Amino acid sequence: MNRVKSFLNDTSLFRIIYIIDLFLCMVSYVQLLGYVMLPFLFIWGLRLVYFNQHRYNTFFKMRFGIWVGAFIAASLLPIFFNITLSAIISAIMFFHTFICFFVFYGMHTEADFNFKNELYFLAYFMVVATTILNAIGFFCLMFGIHFEWSYEDLYWIRFPLYENRFTGAFYNPNLLGFVSSVGIVCCHILHKDGLVDEIEKPKFNRVLIAASGTANVFSLILCDSNAAFVLMLGYVLIYVVYMFFDVKRKFSPGKMFIRIITMILLVAVISGASMAFRTVFKAGFAVVNAKTNALVDVLFRDEEIIKEIEQEEGADENGEASFDHENTNIDSGRLRMWKESVGLFKISPIIGISNGNIVFYSGKYLTGELEYNYNHNDLHNGFLTILVSTGVIGALLFGIFGFRVGKHAFQHLFWQEKSWRFDVYPCLFAFCGAYAVYALFEKALLYDISFMVMWFWLFMGYLSCYIVKLEPDLQTQFLFNKKRLTRTML
């Protein structure tokens, strides 16, 4: 009995299992198992929200917690004032925010918790898992192994190509793009000597890190996910900016000006070169893949099987995958959803319409272009989703919270006497900063129970652990409902 309680009370173990399960929800063939486990894990997470409040006094120890509490209160208002058939979805998303804030971001309130052990394990898992799955995907791609199965519009598998884009072993090429970006970041994290030295873990083999990073870069390019490419490019650019200003010495105005100009030029070169390399690599790999498939056809297949493969979705008129979007519209339908969000916002601009009503109100009051399916059940912009769901009040409170976290993380990264070059702190900051840009194009900020969202809040939690470590508790307090409210909550 004590072992069961110890298991259920282990917040770090929950985060690990929850992240791995959400990862499995993206993998073809095993995602149904992930979805079956998800409701039980969700209930476990809500139990930890309640238990940790009693155990750690989470809310009153949380950095910038007053803004979190105000946002949660503001997000509750539209649920009560917009009770519809979709109320159950709004309620689920409301409780989902508790897990994001109190179990993931609020990990810094846990007594004697060393987050680096957890980070090391999850980074290790991501590197190994993405390497294995990418190897499976590339093997099937090069040997022309294709499979497609669907059940109406609820569930489908298109392996390893989806609409002419490489999807590997994952459900969707955009998910592969995000996972590949995370895999690259985790390779970078495991490469940091400061992490493994502090927690006294064995160093990950550098050759395997290089191999995994290369495989993830290839997958990121071939899946042709523009949003994931922006995420990865943003991570690299933010880290480059950090490297330029990490030197802890003062510069004369002239030298500082030269350094800034050099940094801007380097950022421009990296951006242009990466986009050019992406285009050239896709074209070159398409030729190699076509020749490999042709050789396999000659050696192992008869003519009837070859004709069937050429007719499959994901091949161009020559029967060769080019790894480019079939939809030449660069926004992939997002502008249509963003325009409709204006009409949804006008319905209740102050308190919002609640997240569960986005699709429902679209059909009831507007054109009904938003539908209950994978591609159109969200505004595909995390910030717009929060604005429409919680109105101006909720969006403002959430924005203040995000600004406060970002401001303090930025200060401690650039203005400390200590260099963080061999630590994971710059990696966490760069990823969260790049993710804020990524969320402009995906449903990936708060109101989505997915690997993307929870990985972001996981890194936000790790980032908060650094803030708590570097900032002494401020003693000035304010009276709040018979509680002593510290200024750190503000």
pTM value is 0.90
Q: How far apart are CA 309 and CA 315, in angstroms?
A: 9
Confidence of residue 91 (pLDDT cuts 50, 70, 90): very high
Given pLDDT bands bounded at 50, 70 and 90, which one contains residue 305? low
What distance lies between CA 123 and its chain's CA centroid? 14
- What is the pLDDT averaged over residues 363-382? 74
- With 70 as the cut, is the pLDDT of residue 322 above it? no
Local confidence band at 127 (pLDDT 50, 70, 90 cut-offs): very high
Mean pLDDT within 40-56: 94
Mean pLDDT score, 151-159? 67
| Residue 53 reports pLDDT greater than 50 | yes
458 and 19 in contact (C-beta within 8 Å)? yes
Structure tokens given for 290: 């076509």
The residue-averaged pLDDT of 367-389 equals 78
CA of residue 228 relative to chain centroid, distance: 9
The whole-number average pLDDT for the span 397-409 is 94
DSSP 199-211: HT-PPPPHHHHHH
Other Cβ atoms closer than 10 A to 193: 10
Q: pLDDT at position 363, please?
A: 81
Q: Is the pLDDT of residue 155 over 70?
A: no
Whole-number Cα distances in Å, 77 to 88, 343, 446: 15, 20, 17
- The pLDDT value recorded for residue 341 is 84
For the CA atoms of 140, 453, 98, 11, what is the dihedral angle to 10 degrees?
A: 50
- Asked whether the predicted pLDDT for residue 314 surpasses 80, the reply is no
Residue 478 confidence (pLDDT) above 60 = no
pLDDT tens digit sequence for 182-195: 999 999 999 888 78
Higher pLDDT, residue 385 or 479: 385
Q: What mean pLDDT comes out for the span 188-208?
A: 83
Q: Quick one: DSSP state of residue 251?
A: -
Is the pLDDT score of 140 beyond 90?
no
Q: What pLDDT, in 10s, does the model give residues 13-46? A: 999 999 999 999 999 888 889 999 999 999 999 9
Share of the chain above pLDDT 90, in %: 42
User: Is 12 a residue whose pLDDT tops 60?
Assistant: yes
| Selected residue with higher pLDDT from 319 and 398 | 398
The enclosing H or E element of 150 equals: strand 147-151
Assess contact for 357 and 79: CB atoms under 8 A: no
Confidence class of residue 250 from pLDDT cuts 50, 70 and 90? low
Task: Decide if 42 contacts 449 (C-beta within 8 A).
Answer: yes
Task: Specify the pLDDT at position 298.
Answer: 60
Residue 277 has pLDDT above 80, yes or no: yes
pLDDT of 479 over the 50 cut:
no
pLDDT digits (tens, 9 = 90+) for 253-267: 777 778 778 888 888
Mean pLDDT (whole number) for 411-431 = 86
More confident residue, 48 or 249: 48
Q: Confidence class of residue 313 from pLDDT cuts 50, 70 and 90?
A: very low
| Interatomic CA distance for residues 118 and 268, integer angstroms | 36
Q: Which amino acid is at 410?
A: F
With a cut of 80, say whether residue 361 has pLDDT above it. yes
Burial of 336 (0-12, 13-18, 19+ CB in 10 A): middle
The DSSP-derived string for 270-283 is HHHHHHHHHHHHHH
Q: What is the pLDDT of residue 171?
A: 84
DSSP state, residue 374: T
